[in-house]
Amino acid sequence: MRFSDKTAIVTGAGKGIGLEICRELLGEGARVVLNDADAGLAEEAASGLGPACIPVPGDASDPGVIGAMVAAATSQGGRLDIAIANAGITLFGGFLDYSRADFERVMEVNLAGTFFLAQAAARQMKAQGDGGALLFMSSVTGHQAHKNLGAYGMTKAAIELLARNLVLEVSDLGIRVNAIAPGATKTERTLEDPNYDALWSRLTPMGRPAETTDIARTALFLVSDDARHITGQTLIVDGGWTAVSPSPYENE
């Protein structure tokens, strides 16, 4: 029970990786504030996880929603120990035709949402005086080019730099900051493509795409005291794909 008496915020957690992170945290004793842009999904997910999970629906880049998440965390447990900026959106599009509206929306959710959740959480942790852990969700698209994901990939590379930069800002407060860069992962969204599992099983050296538990258990390690001397790092969890980088578009 590594997280007994600890309170965590997880954004974008109505399903997929975020939901699994919440489940794993709760299973190890944490109290969890679960956020999702879809209010119905947030309520349903939290209800299924039990009374130690409080839903705070809304856009994770909205300052009011960020404030509500921190308030919910502190009202539930009296403190905030962990903030995981998992929320993000993917808007595909070729560079020559990509719209400004799509660009700004991806930047707002992926970058502003991560930056300002980290800021609000760090302020609360500073007031408490005994540190905490911040975790950002990057992607292998921040390391390797993917077709039609130029804007998205920019945000993920930037998130990793933010994790490194904040080492200078919050280490003296006892706050650690890290990121995870998942590769292909089986979620409700990715499995809408009936060929996804077979394609990424062929392309991934370990012979399969990640399960959500692979990412969630990495997240728990990085926000736990087991990683108490790790900060400013990004851990790629992709079954070896970025080591060899076979393209999913090679037959197109």
Active-site residue numbers? 139, 152, 156
Give SS3 for 51. Answer: coil
Give SS3 for 33. Answer: strand
DSSP 158-224: HHHHHHHHHHHHHGGGTEEEEEEEE-SB--TTGGGSTTHHHHHHHHSTTSSPBPHHHHHHHHHHHHS
| Structural element, H or E, at residue 79 | none
CB proximity list for 70: less than 8 A, separation 6 or greater: 9, 80, 120, 121, 124
